[in-house]
Structure 1
Amino acid sequence: MTNHSPEAGSQILVDGRPASAPLRDTLTVAQNLVRHFADNVTPCGSLPGEQLQSDVMDLTIVCLGLGIQMLDEGISPTDEDLAEVRNSSARWAREGFPLKLVLRILHEGIREAGDLVASNARDEDLPELLAIQKVMFTLLECVTVAATTSYVEELEAVNSERDGAAVNLVTALLSGRKAATAARHAGVELADEYVVLGLSIPSHPTEAVTHRRKAVVARQKLHRLQIELADAAGGAALCSLSPDGGTLLLPGSPERAWMVSLLDRIGAAAGVPLTATATRVRTDGIPAAADQVHELLGLAHQLGLEPGLYEMDDLALEYQLTRPGPGRTHLARLLEPLQGSPELIETLEVHIGHDLNRQRTAKQMHLHTNTVDYRLKRVAQLTGCDPTRPSGLRRIQAALVARRLEVEQPDR
């Protein structure tokens, strides 16, 4: 009587013959299985014919050999026996085949092989059928664990390589050196222009109450944000981020409304409200732009601004009041439409100097008050800032100071 458990040294018999007999013509069986995969396993049917005849065929032959060994000798596969299963799965991971494709082929192949082995069984072979079932489940477990583990490990390695290449690309773009070479290595085609964002990510509330796990919680927050960013931006965003924030590069010239929506979306994924500052530049201007947006970001924090998206137009006045530089130039340009009308600039300066008193302004300039009103209205038309309204006056005042500084301190 045969020992029906798949133990070492035992052989399972069906109808008086080795249960493995239907599998012995391994090549023919493998060819039939591969055709079955192509006809019935939809993702597999979409694979190139050459791929079916190589990787899938090789893997099928290996698995059949493992099944024969278990049926004849009752010996479960060793790590060495499963090496080709792991190698095939790793290759598929690197080539971008989905894991469910790998598992469906393995599971379907083992199920079909089990049916083939049991096809000649008689009623009195029930114990043998149970033993065959146990062997097939054991084989399925072994190859599934080997394939899945190898696939995940290889996928992690691929993602790590891609992440490393992406980080190198962002570093190159931010430094202005060898960006083209880094882009080739990352498999990314550089855009002509980018929106550069400085991003601030506040601590999640749970970070404050999980002292020992604070770093873990912070990484989880960042991971959720990065996953949502990749999905929302279609994988096009380049980033250099830590749990506290960093720099985002968005190719092209996305609209402000879209960027606000993006911030809301990734902030919701991270569970925190985000603050970002942005500017649009050509690719070769990214290093200077990155410095500028992070200066703006620091200013937004100093001013205690609400979370949201800020551009130079939003913070130019505050930027100018705290430091010389691009903000001052930006404000000074506000008055460029008045360059051919010096009387308008003079009227502004006198009017502001007299605390916005029309009568005193008119008297100082020997004008009629209607003329003062006309000139102020003309300033509003040319600059888009109405000096008779608080919001417009604030920018006009700052622009006058910036214009004066640009003349007096051109190199600063």
Structure 2
Amino acid sequence: MGEQALRASAASRRRAPLQIAGRQIGPYLRARVPELSRAVVGRLRTELPVYAGLPAEAMSGDITEIVQHNLRLCADVLEHRRPATESELTEQRDSASQRAEEGVPLDAILTAYHMGSAMCWREITADAEPHELPAVQEAIDRVLTLLQQLTAAVSAAYLETRLLIDSQEQDGRRALMAALLSGEEPGGRGAPRPAPYYAAFTLAVDLHPDEKAAGPGAAIAARRKIRRLRAAIDRGGHEPALTALDSEGGTVLLPVTEPPPWSELCGVVEQASRSAAVAITAAASVVETAALPEAVRRNAEVVELVRRTGRPPGLYRLADVLLDYQLSRPGAALDELANLLAPLEPKPGLLRTLEVYLACDLDRRAAAAALFIHPNTVDYRIRRITQLTGLSPSSTSDLHQINAALVARRSRHPVPGPDRSP
């Protein structure tokens, strides 16, 4: 047989209907659609929890219809030995958009398509004979090509719909947060409802080591840090938090149905710190909607005070810094209190000794150990402090004034914080 005859024979085989097990697989598959679709839907219910949770109406209606449509399309592709056309994938795109609106995960949808394709493949090749290998190879190529087309079309339609939905949700969440922080009445068509209470956090976030590197990697590290912070915070509540965060921190409103224990709020900050691998200084309070603007303002002041006074990272509430907070309010009294220790300004060693001595509850030996000096040296320095200021830590009334003066001084002369990078 000549070359031209061989080509003509091959073309004739391509035009002829594909046959496996002595039957044309296109018409055979089309005839099996009702029974095979029931089998596919049954497996979806059994093996994919997402589909098992869908309403019975959806499974017997939309889901069954799209399974049947896919099986008939596969029969057409095999019978006519061609890829699917764009118009033949319209129903699958519409179905994917509907599943996206219902919140069905994309991985479950794609798994369903692969499961159906595999069952279809087994149906048409179950009784294949060895001499039918060319037909089997072409059939699998046709099925895989169709699956590739379906995967691309379904994924694109699903992601386009989710992008629109997510954008609308984000706009609604941003509008809700803006209203809550400004004290306006939340509302508007399609806007999310405010929660009964919010755990309002103000975060001050340290730099991640990768953010200190030169080049574009620093910006990438900052975005990764923010993403990890948000994910960790969301895990701490029953609903996603409203966040306004940048690489240095920001505001978080975590919706709650009732005020949670303080330990739970501490756990949220600790988890966020671990996830982002950075130190976090934060303040929090749980309030009703109307009190949010004042709570957020006060939280910001607490965080600033905590960092200014050299306290360690962690979560604080107003009760933890009451004296410092009250004494840090501007006014003539604040300046007068700070000036009580003015004679010690030229002698930083005496100031440091006084701070450590008070921190050690007036224990001269503990203070000496912390300062790496002899206890007698502590005694000498305390006497010098009394001589210079006229205030004695051994006097109860003087002790109150000394403590208040130290707080006032810290409000005017912030304590430099340590490098908290991990």
- Give the alignment's TM-score, normalised by structure 2: 0.70
Is the Cα–Cα contact under 8 Å of residues 82 and 142 in structure 2 kept in the other structure?
Answer: no
After TM superposition, the structure 1 = structure 2 runs for residues 34-45 of structure 1, keeping only pairs within 5 Å, are: 34-37=40-43, 40-43=46-49, 44-45=51-52
Q: Give the SS at the match of 2:252.
A: strand
Q: Which residue of 2 aligns with 1:25?
A: 31
- The CA distance in 2 between the partners of 1:307 and 1:4, in whole Å, is 78
Q: Which amino acid aligns with 1:14?
A: I
- The CA distance in 1 between the partners of 2:263 and 2:405, in whole Å, is 27
Deviation at 1:265, TM superposition (A): 0.5
Q: Which residue of 2 aligns with 1:136?
A: 143
Q: Which residue of 2 aligns with 1:248?
A: 252
Is the Cα–Cα contact under 8 Å of residues 207 and 217 in structure 1 kept in the other structure?
Answer: yes
Is the Cα–Cα contact under 8 Å of residues 195 and 249 in structure 1 kept in the other structure?
Answer: yes
Q: Which residue of 1 aligns with 2:306?
A: 300
Q: Which residue of 2 aligns with 1:208?
A: 212
Q: Which residue of 2 aligns with 1:173?
A: 180
Is the Cα–Cα contact under 8 Å of residues 21 and 125 in structure 2 kept in the other structure?
Answer: no
- The CA distance in 2 between the partners of 1:41 and 1:357, in whole Å, is 74
Q: Give the SS at the match of 1:234.
A: coil
- The CA distance in 1 between the partners of 2:46 and 2:393, in whole Å, is 87
Change (3 A) 1:355 1:160: same
Is the Cα–Cα contact under 8 Å of residues 37 and 105 in structure 1 kept in the other structure?
Answer: no
Q: Deviations over 1:173-230 (max 9, x none)?
A: 1111122x16x84544521x43322111222110111422332221111111111111
Q: Deviations over 1:97-155 (max 9, x none)?
A: 23343123212211222222224544432221121122222222222233234334433
Change (3 A) 1:274 1:391: farther
Deviation at 1:258, TM superposition (A): 2.1
Change (3 A) 1:398 1:112: closer
Deviation at 1:264, TM superposition (A): 1.1
Change (3 A) 1:357 1:297: closer
Q: Which amino acid aligns with 1:214?
A: A
Change (3 A) 1:320 1:106: same
Q: 2:403 aligns with which of 394, 401, 409?
A: 394
- The CA distance in 2 between the partners of 1:308 and 1:40, in whole Å, is 47
Change (3 A) 1:304 1:176: same
Matched, 1:230 2:237: no
Q: Give the SS at the match of 1:20.
A: helix
Q: Which amino acid aligns with 2:326?
A: Q
Q: Which residue of 1 aligns with 2:195?
A: 190
Q: Give the SS at the match of 1:197.
A: strand
Q: Deviations over 1:306-329 (max 9, x none)?
A: 21122222333333333259xx9x
- The CA distance in 2 between the partners of 1:210 and 1:26, in whole Å, is 64
Q: Which amino acid aligns with 2:271?
A: R
Deviation at 1:92, TM superposition (A): 0.9
Would you identify which runs of 4 or more consecutive aligned residues in structure 1 move more than 4 Å? 1-5, 353-359, 387-393, 395-399
Matched, 1:154 2:158: no
Q: Deviations over 1:228-287 (max 9, x none)?
A: 111122325332222221112233322332222211111111111101122343321111
Q: Which amino acid aligns with 1:190?
A: A
Matched, 1:267 2:276: no
Deviation at 1:392, TM superposition (A): 10
Deviation at 1:95, TM superposition (A): 0.5
Could you tell me which runs of 5 or more consecutive residues in structure 1 were left unpaired when the two chains were aligned: 329-352, 360-386, 400-412
Change (3 A) 1:307 1:138: same
- The CA distance in 2 between the partners of 1:45 and 1:316, in whole Å, is 54
Is the Cα–Cα contact under 8 Å of residues 93 and 154 in structure 2 kept in the other structure?
Answer: yes
Q: Which residue of 2 aligns with 1:310?
A: 316
Could you tell me which runs of 5 or more consecutive residues in structure 2 were left unpaired when the two chains were aligned: 1-8, 335-388, 409-422
Q: Which amino acid aligns with 1:231?
A: R
Is the Cα–Cα contact under 8 Å of residues 202 and 251 in structure 2 kept in the other structure?
Answer: yes
Change (3 A) 1:167 1:139: same
Is the Cα–Cα contact under 8 Å of residues 19 and 117 in structure 1 kept in the other structure?
Answer: yes
Q: Give the SS at the match of 2:96.
A: helix
Is the Cα–Cα contact under 8 Å of residues 45 and 52 in structure 2 kept in the other structure?
Answer: yes
Q: Deviations over 1:22-58 (max 9, x none)?
A: 1233762564345543564443344322112222123
Change (3 A) 1:167 1:204: same
- The CA distance in 2 between the partners of 1:211 and 1:127, in whole Å, is 56
Q: 1:57 aligns with which of 45, 52, 64?
A: 64
- The CA distance in 1 between the partners of 2:308 and 2:326, in whole Å, is 14
Q: Give the SS at the match of 1:285.
A: helix
- The CA distance in 1 between the partners of 2:97 and 2:21, in whole Å, is 40
- The CA distance in 1 between the partners of 2:198 and 2:55, in whole Å, is 38
Change (3 A) 1:398 1:305: closer
Deviation at 1:299, TM superposition (A): 2.9
Is the Cα–Cα contact under 8 Å of residues 3 and 11 in structure 1 kept in the other structure?
Answer: no
Change (3 A) 1:190 1:120: same
Is the Cα–Cα contact under 8 Å of residues 264 and 273 in structure 1 kept in the other structure?
Answer: no
Is the Cα–Cα contact under 8 Å of residues 198 and 288 in structure 2 kept in the other structure?
Answer: yes
Q: Which residue of 1 aligns with 2:366?
A: none
Deviation at 1:78, TM superposition (A): 3.8
Q: 1:105 aligns with which of 108, 112, 115?
A: 112
Q: Which residue of 2 aligns with 1:69?
A: 76
Q: Which amino acid aligns with 1:221?
A: K
Deviation at 1:388, TM superposition (A): 7.3
Deviation at 1:396, TM superposition (A): 11
Is the Cα–Cα contact under 8 Å of residues 240 and 248 in structure 1 kept in the other structure?
Answer: yes
Deviation at 1:77, TM superposition (A): 2.4
Q: Which residue of 1 aligns with 2:102?
A: 95
Is the Cα–Cα contact under 8 Å of residues 211 and 222 in structure 2 kept in the other structure?
Answer: yes
- The CA distance in 2 between the partners of 1:282 and 1:396, in whole Å, is 36
Change (3 A) 1:305 1:153: farther
- The CA distance in 1 between the partners of 2:41 and 2:319, in whole Å, is 64
Is the Cα–Cα contact under 8 Å of residues 22 and 116 in structure 1 kept in the other structure?
Answer: no
Matched, 1:279 2:285: yes
- Give the alignment's TM-score, normalised by structure 1: 0.71
